[in-house]
Chains A and B, each alone.
Chain A
Amino acid sequence: MQKAYTNIIQIAGDVITVEAEGVGYSEIAQITTRSGVSLAQVIRIDAQKVSLQVFAGTRGIATGDKVRFLGFPMRVATGENLLGRIFNGSGLPLDHGPALSDNLVDIGAPSVNPAKRIIPNKMIRTGIPMIDVFNSLVESQKLPVFSIAGEPYNELLARIAIQAEVDIIIVGGMGLKYDDYLFFKETLNSHGALSRCVFFMHTAADPTVECLLVPDISLAVAEDFALKGKRVLVLLTDMTNFADSLKEISITMEQVPSNRGYPGDLYSQLAARYEKAVDFEGAGSITILSATTMPGDDVTHPVPDNTGYITEGQFYLKSGVIEPFGSLSRLKQQVNGKTRSDHRAIMDTMIQLFASYRETLEKQSMGFQMSAWDEKLLKYGALFEKNMMSLKVNISLEKALDLGWQILADCFSPEETGIKLSIIEKFWPKNNGKD
């Protein structure tokens, strides 16, 4: 059955075309070249002409090399044996451990029936007020960190991973610098988390096609754990590299590009990955945190733009802090009504006042006279930035809410906040800001 073909008729980019028969769409093939064996996947069939993307790249492939179709789609080993291990995008070990082939599952399996999902309702506490108070993270959420290239997004992801109460952490690295990879490994190790982690690493030096496989392979493993009742956190960094790999392959395949060279199905491709985030009825969950770097800090760039429409909010990391504007957790309403009765009031009011503060800053920079109200806002803004926004702050949600009231009381009178009277009566600090 497994017939080998040797007539490669085209090699372009990372895609080869071979003449073969009876080949299934998205099937895997092995290509034996003089430098070893590489895997490839069928991406187009045109009668006898079968195009494949070669995971290890096409460099060194000869037109007479042997292509053997395996008759099944891409698979990955799953289960406890993966914990603590490091693999590449094709699922081959990068550490010194053995290759695994137990409990193989297909990657890119069908989507979850919406009728079998449940409404997410468990908050993931991170100790970061900008997340816990203003944009709470919820189990089974899919949330990217938007930032420009130099921001500490990997640090933020690692910190959340360590503090979050989850069973399994899966790190999918795409186009990662080798340093970043070491950083993840060391940080998770120093907090004793490595034994519940699985790494799928594609570094910037590795072939493009392997980058495309990282999210699928990470999520297939995560899905298997989640079906067995585990709560899984998947970190994907950086999804912009994934999108760029998609672009590279689609241009090679001569597809009509839609926007800045990206393929027209970029949205569907990203969604197919992000939508794997799920809270299974009667089983575990998958939470996805990703990094999306925005070229030129442009949120309208196709990658962050499409991502934003798919994910349930985003954390916008700018100048080392999570910006309150542009950041959003769409699922926060599922959990922040159950924490403390002042949570929503503090969340809304502090942000509205912070928006006014930003306007005042603008006025100040243009040299306008500051009114008494402006002075109050300036004081408020400074306190807010120092005690709430800084990523150095690491306090519980309840402490952060108390701190919020203190800041408000230090700067304003109750009616200036516009908060409902019933909540003011209950929570407004009795020392009236004079501590």
Chain B
Amino acid sequence: MEKIRTGKVIKVNANMVTAELSGQIIQNEVAYIICGQERLKAEVIRVHQNQAEMQVYESTQGLRAGDVVEFSNELLSVELGPGLLGQIFDGLQNPLPALAKKCGFFLKRGVYLEALPDETQWEFTPLVKAQDKVLAGSWLGFVPEKIFKHYVMAPFGLNGTLEVVSIAPPGKYNLKQAVAQLKDSSGKLHEVFLQQIWPVKIPIRAYAEKLRPSEPLVTKMRLIDSLFPVNRGGTYCTPGPFGAGKTVLQQLVSRHAEVDIVIIAACGERAGEVVETLRTFPELIDPRTQKPLMDRTVIICNTSSMPVAARESSVYTAVTIAEYYRQMGLNVLLLADSTSRWAQAMREMSGRLEEIPGEEAFPAYLESRIASFYERAGVVKLRSGETGSVTIGGAVSPAGGNFEEPVTQATLKVVGAFHGLSRERSDARRYPAIDPLISWSKYSGFVKPEYKERYHSILNRGNEIAQMMKVIGEEGTSLADYTEYLKSDFFDFVYLQQNAFDAVDEATSKERQIYLLEFIFAILEAEYNLEDKTAALHFFQTLRQLMRTWNSAEYNSPEFKKIGSQITALLESKKNKKDK
């Protein structure tokens, strides 16, 4: 045990505190500032001679020059183990419900609780035996957590081949009881517990290889899955001005996405939105597992009025937990809302450090930080041969809704899909407000490429005609062009738009999407006998209304079939016939 090193506060500038100490200082180590009865957590972010500049994860009210600082020798870390699922943590992995029990309505500073409850007994089943050879990250046994087998793994930080010296027999253990003992090549013994500690800013690399994301991730949002798909292990971003529906979109994806585990990082956003998730998820049933959605969810929440430095750490806490579950061969989706707030937290600190500012006063290392965060996504082949994935979806809140700003640009460079939300679409109440004309995806998805191309060209053509009509007017547009425009608008209306507040329409299964796409494709390819523009408009409006009603009908239900035949009848009445 090393002697605790202490220093003294010499400067306080909002959440940046400088301490002076003799002896070594470790970059990024955690320190505690003693302020009366309270211990305030801080992280060293810059060292200058014998001075450590620290960002404090709490309000610094009442700190004085001369206050004692204790340095911990450890980097900022999280506890990984059974009991994470269904929890709500702040950016430093403090469990918020337990904190509420202890402190009441307000977040009292300086109170840090164990992330995982110690006393819980877990039913452990060993998977290895003494003398077995294992590697870091190997599954040594498992405990049941919700519906998953939560694997107990050899500590990720160990090197080389390890020998199992002893392994606990099946039975109940708590987090602080050792379940195995491993010996590394140098003969040193390591105890293994149900939980392990890992520094948040370092990616977990205990896997065989990283693979290319190839399996589509079904989000049940038609616009995303069909036109701008995301693959498991991929990355995507959703930038958009305020009020364009980023959060509603993320909430829908968090509910319906076909993954094992969803980690929600509410980073510097409204508390109200988190509350909605944490109050509704325990009641919503996941249709795939018949269990509450909360059972597959972890919420990391550092809302906008909570201390800004912890906002910076919250995305790292979230991604570390995501990687941990990936190591068990699970597919994890991490939704971060919003990465701009995270970037702003870096900007605030950078300003206080008086670093030379880059564009819009963001620090020069903004791009590399964003890139290394998204690089923690991926599909990996574990050493056991299984695969697991972390998919990252980040919301971006560009200042003024302008995508040219530094955070959006830095993000676009590193993600695999871009779902750009536009003010025009949200003003016209076309939700989801992802603009199909500017968005892109590098992933394949499940829709045939020729379909995708065709639909893109229909939308582009529709937009061209719409622009043209603005100049030459409707009367100057030919009936053929006008019909093309109506078709594109029709496709947008009945397929791309999705009603988030309709129990059926809010999520469309893969099968239904494929069925609908083929159905609509036939509608768009057909020629109709429409005598003039008024008749054309009327025809598509009627069709649109029927399709909308269809969208709210359960797939393959009697009602669905009834409306389906109505639509077919209407189409037949106008198709390939002479004038009435």
Contact = CB atoms under 8 A, between A and B. Distances in A.
A255 interface: yes
Given A258-B347, A352-B429, A119 B276 contact: yes
Interface in A347-382: 348, 351-352, 355, 362-363, 366, 368-369, 371-374
B128 to A, nearest CB: 39
Nearest to A26: B61
Interface string B270-281: 111011101110
Contacts of A118: 275, 279
Instruction: For chain B, give the interface size range.
Output: 35 or more
A46 B347 CA distance: 21
A163 interface: no
Nearest to A258: B361
Interface in A29-79: 44-48, 73
A265 interface: yes
A5 interface: no
A301 to B, nearest CB: 8
A111 B347 contact: no
Given A110-B109, A337-B501, A415 B542 contact: yes
Contact of B275 (A119, A267, A373): A119
B270 A310 contact: yes
Contact of A111 (B14, B305, B429, B537): B305
A24 B64 contact: yes
Nearest to B302: A114
Given A109-B106, A111-B303, A265-B308, A369 B473 contact: yes
B107 A113 contact: yes
A366 B63 contact: no
Contacts of A415: 538, 541-542, 545
A373 B537 contact: yes
B11 interface: yes
B242 A309 contact: yes
B563 to A, nearest CB: 10
Contacts of A278: 271
A363 B12 contact: no
A299 B14 CA distance: 29
Contact of A300 (B88, B243, B402, B428): B402
Given A25-B62, A256-B357, A257-B361, A113 B105 contact: yes
A198 B100 CA distance: 31
With a 10 A CB-CB cut-off, give which of A27, A276, A374 has the most chain B CB atoms: A27
A116 B62 contact: no
Contact of B475 (A110, A299, A368): A368
A344 to B, nearest CB: 7
Interface in A294-338: 299-302, 305-306, 308-310, 312-314, 325-326, 328, 330-331, 333, 337
A410 interface: no
Nearest to B18: A46
Contacts of B100: 113, 115-116
Contacts of B381: none
A108 to B, nearest CB: 8
B65 interface: yes
A108 B109 CA distance: 13
A300 B106 contact: no
Interface residues of A, number: 84
A373 B271 CA distance: 45
B552 interface: yes
Interface in A248-273: 255-259, 263-265, 267-268, 271-272
A152 interface: no
Nearest to A314: B243
A100 interface: no
Given A264-B348, A418-B545, A48 B65 contact: yes
Contacts of A355: 427-429
B549 A420 contact: yes
B422 to A, nearest CB: 13
B37 interface: no
Contact of A331 (B272, B301, B427, B429): B272
A421 interface: yes
B344 A115 contact: no
A179 interface: no
Interface stretch (B183-191, B393-401, B443-451, B520-528): B393-401
Given A264-B348, A305-B399, A310-B270, A328 B243 contact: yes
A25 B304 contact: no
Contacts of B427: 325-326, 355
A73 B62 CA distance: 8
A389 interface: no
Contact of B271 (A114, A314, A371, A420): A114
A111 B270 contact: no
A114 B88 contact: yes
Given A112-B271, A275-B303, A45 B402 contact: no
B341 A267 contact: yes
A369 B65 contact: no
Interface in A214-242: 227
A418 B399 contact: no
Interface string A118-132: 111000000000000
Contacts of B350: 264
Contacts of B268: 267-268, 271
A116 B65 contact: no
Given A258-B360, A267-B344, A24 B107 contact: no
Interface string B545-576: 10011001000000000000000000000000
Contact of A47 (B65, B305, B361, B552): B65
A47 B10 CA distance: 5
Contact of A305 (B63, B66, B348, B400): B400
Contacts of B402: 300
Given A115-B99, A271-B305, A418-B548, A259 B475 contact: no
A155 interface: no
A116 B104 CA distance: 8
Contacts of B361: 256-259, 264
Contacts of B108: 110
Contacts of B12: 25, 44-45
A117 interface: yes
Nearest to B108: A110
Contacts of A24: 61-64
A371 B399 CA distance: 40
B177 to A, nearest CB: 29
B533 interface: yes
Interface in A73-87: 73
B65 A256 contact: no
B428 A112 contact: no
A366 B278 contact: no
Given A110-B107, A312-B272, A259 B399 contact: yes
With a 10 A CB-CB cut-off, give which of A116, A313, A366 has the most chain B CB atoms: A116
B552 A420 contact: yes
Nearest to A276: B305
Nearest to B431: A348
B474 interface: yes
B351 interface: yes
Contacts of B544: 418
A280 interface: yes
With a 10 A CB-CB cut-off, give which of B66, B272, B341, B348 has the most chain A CB atoms: B272
Given A119-B279, A268-B304, A110 B99 contact: no
A31 B14 CA distance: 22
A420 B96 contact: no
Which 3 pairs show the lowest CB-CB distances between chains A and B?
A300-B400, A271-B304, A368-B473
9 contacts: A44-B14, A73-B62, A113-B100, A256-B351, A264-B344, A267-B341, A306-B399, A310-B304, A418-B545
